[in-house]
């Protein structure tokens, strides 16, 4: 047998996702390239690693055993690389992050130069809802979390990153009379909410209750991107963080409704448990953020604040 580490990695990813298409996306390869390597890997075994039934890919029992072995081999190779880099004096290891969905528009910019400077650091970033982020933090499944609302029940350390401004937005065809929208007229619209547990939803609910807005029609969506697309399509209106909609505003797909009392403003925070024993990689990232956050914000987010 003469299979390569690259083929092991491809088969492991295909076995994990049960899809050549999804594997190619995550591996940043074309689908034909993945298919060719998968075939070359299969040709080295007498027993089938997978089978296609209908349009679905299924991993055989033998294939599952090979996938487990591939995982162990790749983990050992990674460990060798880490040890080699450590002996060379380089920072090496894993950094695990859990962030709320809207933070995906910001966190990559806080990571980019750190990863470029430390190419032996592997990053796992789970983008999910607030409740899942807090759960990951509680269960010690991540080093850091990025949130706009600080969990009150946890003893945490934090670095305040940047302002998170939220505005009421509507599609380009939403009719507005005058320069300022009468908040009492909003109840004629369909309100688009994030799911329960979302900090954006909580802020929107508090604003509506405070201003005694009656909700006649509403819809719930499970991601910021879904809400944005629904607003663009003219399905309804919503309160959204400015950080995730700037391109849509620039393109004229969305408009900010000029409403008294807005924007709502919170702050993005990088948080971690006080009791967390941070790895060398995690400590280095914490220090990097502390030292460079202002420069990153000035360079990457010069127009995130609208007044």
CATH number where 281 lies = 3.40.190.10
Q: What is the mean pLDDT of residues 206-222?
A: 91
Least confident of 8-22, 37-51, 160-174, 178-192: 178-192
Can you tell me the distance from the alpha carbon of 228 to that of 40, in angstroms, rounded to the nearest whole number? 43
- Asked whether residue 253 falls in the same domain as residue 274, the answer is no
Residue 129 lies in a domain: yes
- What is the pLDDT at residue 50? 94
pLDDT digits (tens, 9 = 90+) for 82-101: 777 667 777 888 899 999 98
- What is the pLDDT at residue 186? 86
Residue 215 lies in a domain: yes
- What is the pLDDT at residue 113? 95
Residue 204 lies in a domain: yes
- Asked whether residue 68 falls in the same domain as residue 201, the answer is no
Residue 283 lies in a domain: yes
- Tokens coding 102: 């809207």
To the nearest whole number, what is the mean pLDDT of the chain? 90
Exposure string for 119-138, b = 16+ CB within 10 A, e = fewer: ebbbbebebebbebbbebbe
- What is the pLDDT at residue 290? 97
**Residues contacting residue 136 through CB under 8 Å, at least 6 positions apart:** 98, 126, 128, 142, 145
- Asked whether residue 196 falls in the same domain as residue 258, the answer is yes
* φ/ψ (deg, to 5) at 94: -115, 145
- Asked whether residue 256 falls in the same domain as residue 288, the answer is no
pLDDT-derived band of residue 303, with 50, 70 and 90 as boundaries?
low
- Asked whether residue 242 falls in the same domain as residue 172, the answer is yes
Looking up tokens 């009468």 gives: 182
- Asked whether residue 225 falls in the same domain as residue 258, the answer is yes
Last residue of a domain, one of 87, 105, 135: 87
- What is the pLDDT at residue 37? 94
Residue 31 lies in a domain: yes
- Asked whether residue 251 falls in the same domain as residue 272, the answer is no
- What is the pLDDT at residue 222? 86
**Residues contacting residue 101 through CB under 8 Å, at least 6 positions apart:** 127, 128, 129, 223, 224, 225
CA nearest 274: which of 162, 137, 97, 126? 137
pLDDT digits (tens, 9 = 90+) for 238-275: 999 999 898 899 999 999 999 989 999 989 999 999 99
- Asked whether residue 193 falls in the same domain as residue 239, the answer is yes
CA angle, residues 46, 48, 50, in degrees to nearest 5: 160
What CATH code is carried by the domain that includes residue 21? 1.10.10.10
pLDDT-derived band of residue 305, with 50, 70 and 90 as boundaries?
very low
pLDDT-derived band of residue 59, with 50, 70 and 90 as boundaries?
very high
Last residue of a domain, one of 60, 87, 114: 87
pLDDT-derived band of residue 172, with 50, 70 and 90 as boundaries?
very high
- Asked whether residue 65 falls in the same domain as residue 144, the answer is no
Least confident of 58-67, 83-92, 136-145, 276-285: 83-92
Residue 50 lies in a domain: yes
Residue 67 lies in a domain: yes
- Asked whether residue 23 falls in the same domain as residue 115, the answer is no
Looking at the chain, which runs of residues are DSSP E strands?
A: 50-53, 56-59, 93-100, 121-128, 144-147, 156-171, 190-193, 217-220, 238-241, 254-256, 264-273
- Tokens coding 46: 């007498």
- Asked whether residue 294 falls in the same domain as residue 261, the answer is no
- What is the pLDDT at residue 1? 76
pLDDT digits (tens, 9 = 90+) for 108-135: 999 999 999 998 898 999 988 888 999 9
Residue 306 lies in a domain: no
Identify the domain containing residue 276 by its residue range.
93-162+267-300
Q: What is the mean pLDDT of residues 58-74?
A: 94
- Asked whether residue 39 falls in the same domain as residue 59, the answer is yes
Last residue of a domain, one of 37, 65, 87: 87
Q: Work out how many domains the chain is built from and give that number.
A: 3
- What is the pLDDT at residue 307? 41
- What is the pLDDT at residue 214? 87
């Amino acid at each position: 047998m003469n299979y390569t580490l690259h083929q092991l990695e491809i088969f492991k990813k295909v076995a994990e996702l049960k899809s050549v298409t999804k594997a190619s996306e995550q591996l940043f390869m074309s689908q034909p390239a993945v298919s060719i390597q998968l075939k070359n890997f299969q040709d080295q075994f007498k027993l089938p690693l997978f089978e296609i039934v209908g349009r679905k890919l299924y991993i055989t029992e033998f294939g599952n055993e090979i996938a487990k072995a591939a995982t162990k081999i790749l983990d050992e190779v990674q460990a060798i690389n880490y040890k080699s880099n450590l002996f060379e004096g380089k920072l090496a290891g894993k950094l695990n992050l859990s962030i709320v969905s809207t933070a995906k528009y910001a966190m990559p910019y806080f990571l980019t130069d750190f990863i470029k400077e430390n190419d032996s650091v592997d990053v796992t970033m789970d983008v999910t809802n607030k409740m899942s982020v807090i759960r990951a933090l509680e269960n010690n499944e991540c080093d850091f979390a990025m949130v706009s609302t600080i969990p009150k029940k946890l003893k945490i350390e934090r670095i305040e990153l940047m302002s998170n401004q939220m505005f009421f937005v509507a599609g380009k065809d939403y009719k507005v009379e005058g320069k300022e929208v009468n908040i009492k007229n909003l109840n004629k619209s369909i309100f688009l909410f994030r799911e329960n547990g979302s900090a954006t939803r909580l802020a929107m609910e508090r604003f509506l209750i405070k201003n005694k807005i009656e909700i006649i029609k509403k819809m719930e969506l499970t991601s910021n991107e879904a809400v944005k697309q629904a607003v663009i399509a003219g399905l309804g209106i919503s309160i959204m963080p400015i950080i995730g909609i700037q391109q849509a505003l620039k393109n004229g797909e969305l408009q900010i409704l000029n409403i008294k009392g807005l924007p709502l403003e919170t702050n993005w925070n990088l948080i971690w448990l006080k009791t967390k024993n941070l790895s060398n990689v995690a400590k280095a990232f914490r220090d990097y953020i502390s030292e460079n956050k202002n420069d990153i914000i000035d360079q990457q987010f010069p127009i995130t604040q609208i007044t």
